[in-house]
Each structure stands twice: as C-alpha cells, then as structure tokens.
Copies of this chain bind each other. A is one copy, B any other.
Amino acid sequence: MSTDRLIYLPLGGAGEIGMNAYVYGYGAPGKERLILVDLGVTFSDMDTSPGVDLIFPDIGWLAERRDRLEAIFITHAHEDHVGALAHLYDRLGPVPVHARAFTAHLARARMAEQGQPEKAVITASPWPETIEAGPFKVGFVPISHSIPESSGLVIDTPAGRVVHSGDFKMDTGPVVGEAFDEALWASLAEPGVLALTCDSTNVFSPHEGRSESGLGPAIEGLIAGAGGMFVATTFASNVARVKTLAEAAQRSGRTICLMGRAMRRMIEAAVETGVLTDFPGTVPPEEVRDIPRENLMLIVTGSQGERRAASAQLAQGKYNGIELKPGDTFLFSSKTIPGNERSVIRIINQMSEKGVDVIDDDTGRYHVSGHANRPDLQRLHRLVRPRVVVPMHGEHRHLREHVKLAGEDGCKGVLAPNGTMVAITRAGAQVAEYVETGRVYLDGRMQVGALDGVMRDRIRMALNGHVLVNVIIDEDDEPLGEPWCEVHGLAEEGASRAPLVDVMEADLGQFMRRAGDATLTDDDKLEQGLRKVARQTAVSEIGKRPEVTVIISRLTAG
C-alpha cells in the first residue's frame, strides 16, 4: 500500500483575517509535491508594528522546500490574497503562478513593479478546464465575492478531491462578474469530496447574505434626496459596488468622477480585461470644478479612513482642488474593518465640522458583505458534502465556530490554525505536524522578522521616550569634561522645575566624579552605571523610565 499522503498546511490566513497562504501537498511524507494557494498581505498598526509598510506571512517553511513547489494559484485579486506575491516570489520561484484574467492582469503589474518576471503569471480558464501541477489537477470554479473573477478551486489528487472555497458569497445578482451557480457547485460533489477548505469570515453573522443587486434602489433614493455634491466611498477593488454607485448616480442625472489612484486602476483593469462593461461615462477630476455641485457624484477611495486616501484628504481640506461644503452628502458604502474605527470616526467628525451629512454603514442599507454568512456556509457544506470541513480565512474564534457549525451539519470539522499540517484521508483529517509560522514585516525595502526586536525597540521608544548619554574617557582612563545628554519624547521639565537634561547631567557628572578605576576602565560597568543614574533621575523628576543609550568615547594615545 502506498504511503503517499495528502496534506494541508496554512502558513497565513488561518488565525487572522489577512495574509492568506495555504499549502497543499501530495506524496510520501516529507517528500510531498506542493502547491500554494494565495499569497497575501495584512496591514500594520501602531500598537504592534509602527512604521511598517506591509505584513507578509513567514514562508520560511515553503522557501526551504521550493524545489518541491509545483505552482502557485491565486483565487482573486484582493491584497490579502495576492499582495505578497511579487514581494516573496524570488524566494519561491521560478514557479508558475496561475490566476484568472483580471487577477493575472493585476498580479503582472505588481510583479513588474518589484522587478519580478511578469510572464510567470499565467492566465487560467475557468472550470471545467484544469491545470496540472505535479500530482495535482486544479480548476478555477467561478464564485461570487466583492471583486471580479473570484474563484474557488477544485484540487484533484490521487487521494481524492479537495474543494477550496476561496472567499465567497452566494450572490445570484452580483452586478459584475459571475453569479453563484448552485448547480455547478453541487456538481463538484459528484465524485465525492474529501475536504472543503472554507471561508469563515462571517460565521457569526446569523442571517442569509444579501445580494449586491439589492443596493441600487436604496442608493439611488439617497442621491435623489441630496442637495449638494454627493460623495461615496467603497473599497477600490469592489468593482461591482463602484458600478452600483455610478449607475445610481447616472439615473439621478449626476456627472460621475472617480477619485483615488487605486480605484481608477481597478476600474481600468476591469475594463481592459473585459470584466466590466457598460460602465457609465465619467469625467476626469480636473473637469469637476466646472460642474454645479448638485449635479456631481464623486466615487472615492479611503473607506477605511486611510490618511492618504481621497476620503481623508477631502475631510481635511482639498483633494484635486475640490472641497466639501455644507449641504454635501458623504456615503460610506462599506464596512469598517475592526481596528479602523478610530480612523473612520475621525474623518466622519471632520466632515461633520464642515457641515457635511455623513451616512455610514450602521443601517446596512447601503452595503452588503462579500462573505458568506452562517446559513450560506451551511448551504455550501450541504452542496459540496465533504467528509471534512477545514475552516480557513478567519481568526481563531471564527475557525473554532466554523468547526462547530460543520458538526451541526454532520460533517467533521478540523481546527487547523496557521502552522498546523493536516493529513487528509478518506477516514478524516489528522494533525500530522506543527510547523513554525509567523509574520514578516516589510519596513521600507527590508523584510524584518516580527521577533527580530526592531519593533520592540520602536514601541519602547514610543512608550517610554529616549535618553542619550555621552561621555568621553581620556587616554588615562579619566573622564574628559562632563557627561551630557539629549532626550527625545520626554517632558522638558520635571519635579525640580529645571530642565530634565540639566538635572540628569548634574547627576551623571556626580556619578562620574565618584566612579573608581574599576568602573572607568570597564565599558560594561560604566554603561550600566550611567544608564541606572539616567533612569533614576527620570523616574524621580518626571515619573518615567525611558530607554537609555550610553555612548562612551575612549581617546587612545596615538
């Protein structure tokens, strides 16, 4: 009997919403041929990763086994699925990257930007066509989501079939792109399905998901009732929503202008690849000023309050020469992603100060989610009828709840957060191994490990402030002049009502005068002593324990 096995190993995306990267393997243990599904990013925040540009999954495990990697498959063009590809490709390639036309178009542009080979990205045709990759036969199965040409994957292996849902919702009227095709998805179950690897994002949302096509009339009503300029924001990549907004504007007789580079790029890509047709005519930003406000509709980037995006710029002042005025309306046709609340609320309040009426997604009338809700997940379980449900694309709480939900449907569910290698057989799924995973930060142009200490240093400086102590020791191991310091991020004056720097320098001077040879000749001792004095002074003067850097310059005879 063959010892070959089918394995599944999430390197990212199972334990967070973001940076998706799922490995499948087939072969003898330790010698499996591998494919990677998706390679996305997640975003930094001040609490854990200040100054970081992007966050990638740690693909160390896969990079060490790149000789066994047959292909990469990208399910759709969202950043959390494709955003790391161009940045990490040189650690995995050369290897073919398969994606459908719209996704491939955007992926190629990213590859070119990063100096990676565009031609590695191969345009895939949808199911029933399949792509061979070692022992795998993979097909892209259209499914509705909030970006065009999203796909689930059929992954056929000698051990049987795995269905990878990708990000999805069950929308039969998605406005742009393919509708959810129940018969097609049911047909995938025919040969029997070993495992369904399944989106878990909305497992806590109890009601059936709503269709994109239901939003148009509500948005049109809103525009019809608005007096001044009408501005709407949504995710740049939500091409269907941009179309819904634009069509509502058109029906209201307003001239449409798209603002924000990301949105213009997305719409262009959708038009070029034939995904988007019949998009209403737009005017470029420079023509907007000539149009009466009440005839205008701007569709802009920045639904998450991002500082540099069009929304935030409009909230603060001008963008492309256009300014918000009292009587204008601003619609968030989007959901605020947890963690972005403060940024979004900030711009809402700035707009309120300008007298703009802001409508957010609280009511759910002007936004629908791109992910399947709890009853939709159940429906997919029942259509695909897998032996095992493997929840992915969720935080730990989502995966755990999805396992429970699978149980309710009489399926086995397996909880496999990042790093959990699962062996999938006809008998079920067993944890085979735990693999080290984590995060890598793109900081400027460098990739920095999350545990390298770089972030720890930054966070400490931000929380505690920083003191620099400088002393010079002469050729005879005697202090030359007085120690002096410089402080950053600390109160200027403390309890003594004298500059903190002065008090600190006096205390350090005293320490130096009292220091014996044993200290003055030993850099480590001297540094420790000076650091301790600087900290003590800061604690007694201002009640803070700052980071302290000590610089000892020794003059040498010669």
For A397, give its contact among B15, B349, B494, B555 (CB under 8 Å): B349
Q: In the bound complex, what is the Cα–Cα distance between A378 and B46 (angstroms)?
A: 40
Complex contacts, A466 vs chain B, CB 8 Å: 461, 466, 488
Residues from chain B with a CB closer than 8 A to the CB of A488 are: 457-458, 461, 466, 547, 549
A45: Cβ under 8 A from any B Cβ: yes
Are A491 and B341 neighbours in the complex by a CB distance under 8 Å? no
Contacting pair A553 B472 (CB below 8 A): yes
Q: How far is the CB of A415 from chain B (nearest CB, A)?
A: 9
Q: In the complex the two chains form, is A489's CB within 8 Å of B341's CB?
A: no
Q: Which of B15, B454, B547 contacts A491 (CB 8 A)?
A: B454
Contacts of A273 in B (CB 8 A): none
**Closest Cβ of chain B: how far from A350's Cβ, in Å?**
8
Partner of A480, one of B50, B204, B345, B555: B555
Contact of A444 with B491 at beta-carbon distance under 8 Å, contacts A342-B338, A462-B462 already known: yes
Interface string of A40-63 (1 = CB under 8 A from B): 000001110011000000000000
The answer to whether B446 touches A491 (Cβ under 8 A) is yes
Contact B495 A445 (CB under 8 A): yes
Give Cα A489–Cα B441 distance, bound, in whole angstroms.
12
Q: Which residue of B lies closest to A447 (CB)?
A: B491
Q: For this complex, into which size category does the number of interface residues on chain A fall?
A: 35 or more
Closest partner residue, chain B, to A47 (CB atom)? B46
Q: A349-B395, A457-B489, A542-B446 are in contact. Are A51 and B338 (CB under 8 A)?
A: no
Nearest-neighbour CB distance to chain B for A99, whole angstroms, equals: 28
A348 and B51: CB pair below 8 A? no
Taking a contact as CB atoms under 8 Å apart, the answer to whether A489 and B461 are in contact is yes
Is A396 an interface residue when CB atoms closer than 8 A count as contact? yes
Interface residues of A in 471-508 (CB under 8 A from B): 472, 480-481, 486, 488-495
Residue A443 is within 8 A (CB to CB) of chain B in the complex: yes
B454–A47 touching, CB < 8 Å: no
Residues of chain A having any CB pair with chain B under 8 Å:
15, 45-47, 50-51, 204, 338-339, 341-342, 345, 348-349, 352-353, 358, 362, 395-397, 400, 417, 443-446, 448, 452, 454-455, 457-459, 461-466, 468, 470, 472, 480-481, 486, 488-495, 538-539, 542-544, 547, 549, 551, 553, 555-556
Closest 9 CB pairs of A and B: A444-B543, A445-B543, A462-B462, A458-B489, A444-B544, A51-B463, A50-B462, A446-B491, A46-B46
- Could you list 29 A-B pairs, sorted by A, with CB under 8 Å? A45-B46, A46-B46, A46-B47, A46-B50, A46-B462, A50-B459, A51-B463, A51-B465, A338-B341, A338-B342, A349-B397, A352-B396, A443-B491, A443-B543, A444-B538, A444-B543, A445-B543, A446-B494, A455-B489, A457-B489, A458-B463, A461-B461, A461-B466, A468-B468, A468-B549, A468-B551, A470-B553, A488-B549, A553-B553
